[in-house]
Amino acid sequence: NMTLPSTFFKAIIHHSYLIGVFRVCLIALKCVCPLCANHTCETSADGACWNSVMLIDGKEEAVKSCLTSAEMRGQIFCYGSRDVSKRNCCFTDFCNNETLHLQPDRPTEEVGWGRLQWTVLILGLSSLLCLTVLLAVCVLHGNRCSYSRAHKQDPEEPLDDQTLLSPDKCLQELIYDMSTSGSGSGLPLLVQRTIARTIVLQESIGKGRFGEVWRGKWRGEDVAVKIFSSRDERSWFREAEIYQTVMLRHDHILGFIAADNKDSGSWTQLWLVSEYHEYGSLYDYLSSFTVSVEGMIALALSVASGLAHLHMEIIGTQGKPAIAHRDLKSKNVLVKKNGTAVIADLGLAVKHDSTSNIIDIPTNHRVGTKRYMAPEVLDETINTANFESFKRADIYSLGLVFWELSRRCSTRGFHEDFQLPYYDMVPSDPSIEDMKKVVCEQGLRPNIPNQWQSCEPLRVMGKLMRECWYTNSAARLTALRVKKTVSQLTVTKDMKD
């Protein structure tokens, strides 16, 4: 006997779409955000302020922040789930200032049908009243009216935290939910926090620029946890922000799961949770194993595809900005079990919005790993006002990664040992000056072995890397071109011997 409520809700939804038609002018909002600079965040024109509280380990934890328009479309932010969480979206400046609380233990009496119908009736009537008032306000003032978006959800299929985190959910399903929830930009913050806080750390698996990477278990499955110290909060925030860029998800970009900041009294632990890849980095993999021609093509193709996706700008409300990695190297590529790879460590990435021509963070000239720096980065002639420059510097690094990979390709029993680029030209921890001398002044590049000429895929890889590491950055190939060329490589029977 659910026809009454659903008819009511459908009527409400229909009305709210109508309101959408009258929406004229949307203004960005300022909201309370304790984790942001100045404790304030600003939404895009279509966003909302968000206020929520959830029960975690028996304690109420409140989150206040901004919601992007994409998150609003994600349908899960503006609804609470009974007494487990309460959340609220609002649409005026700093309207999320109030701190929400969950109600103390509610009596668990059965809710009768009469009461439910009354509730629905009262809710329906008051919503209609509100909508009418809002409609009038919108038409009269042509002003901010984002209310409709929060109500485009199908009430018969609410996708709330409990549904997202139901006990039988595995990671793959969660990630699937994440990509189909409509926002395409990550799980709700409270779900991320709940996941992070139920991970059991197992062993340390890597160390890089920031903190340490651990293998952890979540519901019996492996996950990777990158732990930043509170000193590196900006890096943690930045990397989490980049991973949650709308439409970033891709087979060949490390699958982000959650970010969490846990205050343990005197210090804050900052976590970034991602999919775990047991083979580790491409650097680790190539140090131990050689690859077949097919294996080399699969790895090269996936790195090029991941980079092409990062670099690509997708226009539209569900679009993605162009992103440059700025620290591409074999240690920042991870090898998957199926023999393909993902690009990881987006902590230094920069985003570009072509309509405003704004690069989202101030860019200093020399970031990344010295060994992999393009000549124009080393001598600081890079034109940072043009976003293409950052993409071209990535392509140079891609050429070096291809060189490391191709050396380990074994054909007819022949392959080279594993080496880092310029291993024979610079000391083991080269300075900028060491690199500049070799790469800029002498114009040297890694050696391409003669043997590669007799194996077509290796010959093509050699040609590709040369076209990636030209001194003239404008002459370098694009990631899309590299991807297309690698995708056309084929393996013949004689290469398998």
Q: How far is the CB of 403 from Mg ion (least distance, A)?
A: 19
H or E stretch including 487?
A: helix 479-487
- Can you tell me which of 71, 345, 376, 394 binds ligand ADP, judged by CB under 6 A? 345
- Can you tell me which of 79, 243, 271, 276 binds ligand ADP, judged by CB under 6 A? 276
Nearer residue to ligand ADP within complex by CB, 138 or 349:
349
CB 444 within 8 A of CB 466: no
31 binds, among ligand ADP, Mg ion, none (CB under 5 to 8 A by kind): none
* List of E strands, 219-349: 221-228, 256-263, 268-275, 322-324, 333-335, 341-343
What is the rounded CA–CA span in Å between residue 19 and residue 13? 10
Is 260 an annotated catalytic residue? no
Binding mask 222-241 for ligand ADP (x = CB under 6 A): --x-x---------------
Q: How far is the CB of 208 from Mg ion (least distance, A)?
A: 4
Nearer residue to Mg ion within complex by CB, 282 or 312:
282
213 binds, among ligand ADP, Mg ion, none (CB under 5 to 8 A by kind): ligand ADP
Please compute, for residue 481, the number of CA atoms within 13 A of its CA located in the half-sphere on the CB side.
13
| Cα 298 from chain centre | 23
Does 208 interact with ligand ADP (rule: CB under 6 A)? Answer: yes
Nearer residue to ligand ADP within complex by CB, 160 or 275:
275
* CB-based closest residue to ligand ADP: 208
- Can you tell me which of 50, 79, 210, 387 binds ligand ADP, judged by CB under 6 A? 210
Whats the size of the chain, residue-wise? 497
Which residues are CB-contacts of 33 (< 8 A; sequence separation ≥ 6)?
Answer: 39, 40, 41, 64, 65, 66
Measured between alpha carbons, how far is residue 206 from residues 278, 279, 280, 327 in Å?
12, 12, 9, 17
* SS3 call for 374: coil
Nearer residue to Mg ion within complex by CB, 209 or 365:
209
* SS3 call for 368: coil
- Can you tell me which of 67, 334, 343, 464 binds ligand ADP, judged by CB under 6 A? 334
Q: According to CB under 6 A, which residues from 280 to 309 bind ligand ADP?
A: 280-281, 284
Amino acid code (one letter) for 290 = T
Stretches 132-140, 277-285, 306-314, 431-439: which one binds ligand ADP (CB under 6 A)? 277-285
Does 332 interact with ligand ADP (rule: CB under 6 A)? Answer: yes
From the list 46, 160, 161, 327, the catalytic residue is 327
Q: How far is the CB of 343 from ligand ADP (least distance, A)?
A: 10
Q: How far is the CB of 400 from ligand ADP (least distance, A)?
A: 16
Nearer residue to ligand ADP within complex by CB, 70 or 342:
342
CB 247 within 8 A of CB 318: yes
Measured between alpha carbons, how far is residue 100 from residues 42, 51, 54, 197, 221 in Å?
21, 7, 9, 21, 34
Question: Residues in contact with ligand ADP, total (CB under 6 A)?
Answer: 22
Stretches 131-139, 191-199, 261-269, 273-281: which one binds ligand ADP (CB under 6 A)? 273-281
- Give which of 457, 136, 133, 77 is closest to 293, Cα–Cα: 457
Q: Please tell me whether 169 is known to bind a ligand.
A: no
What is the rounded CA–CA span in Å between residue 237 and residue 34? 13
CB 10 within 8 A of CB 45: no
DSSP state at residue 34: T
Stretches 147-155, 200-208, 401-409, 478-486: which one binds ligand ADP (CB under 6 A)? 200-208
What is the rounded CA–CA span in Å between residue 330 and residue 15? 54
Q: How far is the CB of 269 from ligand ADP (least distance, A)?
A: 15
Nearer residue to Mg ion within complex by CB, 85 or 281:
281
Q: How far is the CB of 295 from ligand ADP (least distance, A)?
A: 19
Nearer residue to ligand ADP within complex by CB, 273 or 486:
273
Does 205 interact with ligand ADP (rule: CB under 6 A)? Answer: yes
Which residues are CB-contacts of 5 (< 8 A; sequence separation ≥ 6)?
Answer: 116, 117, 120, 155
Which residues are CB-contacts of 105 (< 8 A; sequence separation ≥ 6)?
Answer: none
Nearer residue to ligand ADP within complex by CB, 226 or 408:
226
224 binds, among Mg ion, ligand ADP, none (CB under 5 to 8 A by kind): ligand ADP
Does 206 interact with ligand ADP (rule: CB under 6 A)? Answer: yes
Stretches 86-94, 201-209, 427-435, 450-458: which one binds ligand ADP (CB under 6 A)? 201-209
- Give which of 263, 224, 255 is closest to 343, Cα–Cα: 255
Please compute, for residue 47, the number of CA atoms within 13 A of its CA located in the half-sphere on the CB side.
21
CB 83 within 8 A of CB 106: yes
**Lookup: tokens for 216:** 């952890």
Residues that bind Mg ion (CB under 5 A): 208, 332, 345
Does 274 interact with ligand ADP (rule: CB under 6 A)? Answer: yes
* SS3 call for 330: helix
Does 396 interact with ligand ADP (rule: CB under 6 A)? Answer: no
Q: How far is the CB of 226 from Mg ion (least distance, A)?
A: 9
Report the interface residues with ligand ADP, using CB under 6 A. 205-206, 208-210, 213, 224, 226, 254, 274-277, 280-281, 284, 331-332, 334, 344-345, 347
Binding residues: 226
Catalytically active residues are: 327
Binding residues for ATP: 226
